[in-house]
Homo-oligomer: A and B are copies of this chain.
Amino acid sequence: MSLIVQKFGGTSVGSLERIAHVAARVGRSRERGDDVVVVVSAMSGETDRLLGLARSVQERPAPRELDVLLSTGEQVTIALLAMALQAAGWPARSYTGHQVRIRTDSAHNRARIVHIDDRHIRADLAAGRVVVVAGFQGVDEDGNITTLGRGGSDTTAVALAAALRACECRIHTDVDGVYTTDPRVVPEARHLEALTFEEMLELASLGAKVLQIRAVEFASKYAVPLRVLSTFDDGPGTLIGPDPEDHSMEQPLISGIAFNRDEAKVTVMGVQDRPGVAFSILGPVAEENIEVDMIVQNAGADGTTDFTFTVHRNDYARTLQIVREQTSQWESSQVTGDDRIVKISLVGVGMRSHAGIASRMFRVLAAENINIQMISTSEIKISVVVEEKYLELGVRALHTAFGLEGNGAAEHPSQ
């Protein structure tokens, strides 16, 4: 008998029928003899409905009061699911964040969990009950209700799994796991049985939005095995765990290909190549709460440099304006930009121990006549920026070249 945490998102509990389905699913875990803690989100649409109400009352709703309001969403779900479990014959008890209690800091709307009191939960599990916990919410030192921000239910689930030393944290969602790339772009994309935390972080942050980044970071920090699986069928999903560190022959070079359609780039040319330049450009952008993704700087021969960075496409116009104002008094500098670009990334812990992945990637793209505008690399990831129209072509070519399709282990291409 082992302890598992099962998390179900808003779509999975979006109607009374689905809540009954979730209860049946949890019941099957109980039948197998597992102790179960369930974490649920608000029913789909509810958080947006409540946000709409708040914004009708106050243009910028008071953060403390917004948390009081939003936290009712999950509270409704836990009560209904506990009832559904009881109706199906499984003793169950619900807990709000403050009842558990899940202590957070006081940063309303984006609080961080600092401690979980597991006393109530352990007592209920010992009494044979399923414990149903509201995701996304907690309580600060002074008893104020806090929320963890969008997607916070994943974080709640992982934090509970860590606090309870659960053997697995299962994130039930509307997809059946993680794929080598988006199957809508590459129909041959292969379902992955396992991934490391690092790989998942790179895949998640690059657009394969299966799991919240914070939850993966949390799971990685506390070494909680995460499993992403479908609410609606019985497949094994994808297990995300620590790096096994024995890079056997079967270890694929590349785990997956991520991409991001929403990029835009801004380039400042003819910048004086001296300390502080990067900050003087990006400081004002950061002050406007615009998130910067890739940053590339190339030192030129003439004492000037070209500085390029990417932002979300929605922030493009504002970013251009800020940078133009900032650099207007600089001699000889020139600001250009492009919001018709995409980013494609190869991700895999296997590439750590293999040279030549980057050059192989560039060769594949060149063979398709795709020009690379920017390059950025990390230990387990290589990202390139290309013209928007080449996205599908580039991803498919790379997917084939690195042997990601099919149902077997990936082939190891020669270098």
Q: Which residues of A contact B (CB under 8 A)?
A: 16, 19-20, 50, 53-54, 56-59, 61-62, 64-66, 68-69, 71-72, 75-76, 78-80, 82-84, 86-87, 93-94, 96, 98-99, 120, 143-145
Contact = CB atoms under 8 A, between A and B. Distances in A.
A65 B50 contact: no
B53 A16 contact: yes
A83 B62 contact: yes
A339 to B, nearest CB: 36
Contacts of A56: 16
B86 A62 contact: yes
9 contacts: A54-B83, A57-B80, A57-B87, A58-B87, A65-B83, A65-B86, A68-B82, A68-B96, A69-B75
Given A65-B94, A99-B145, 12 more contacts: A19-B57, A54-B80, A57-B83, A57-B84, A57-B87, A58-B83, A65-B79, A68-B78, A68-B79, A68-B96, A99-B143, A120-B143
The 9 closest A-B pairs by CB, nearest first: A69-B79, A72-B72, A68-B79, A58-B83, A58-B87, A57-B83, A65-B79, A65-B82, A72-B75
Contacts of A93: 64
A94 B66 CA distance: 10
A311 to B, nearest CB: 32
Nearest to A91: B62
A301 to B, nearest CB: 59
A145 B71 CA distance: 15
A110 B75 CA distance: 20
A69 B76 contact: yes
A138 to B, nearest CB: 14
Nearest to A84: B57
A87 B144 CA distance: 20
A225 to B, nearest CB: 30
A16 B57 contact: yes
A80 B87 contact: no
Nearest to A68: B79
Nearest to A101: B143
A54 B83 CA distance: 8
A57 to B, nearest CB: 4
A65 B71 CA distance: 16
Contacts of A79: 54, 65-66, 68-69
A20 B57 contact: yes
A65 B57 CA distance: 30
A84 B58 contact: yes
Contacts of A20: 57
A80 B69 contact: yes
A86 B58 contact: yes
A25 to B, nearest CB: 15
Contacts of A58: 83-84, 86-87
Contacts of A62: 82-83, 86
A337 B57 CA distance: 55
A75 B58 CA distance: 17
Contacts of A83: 54, 57-58, 61-62, 65-66, 69
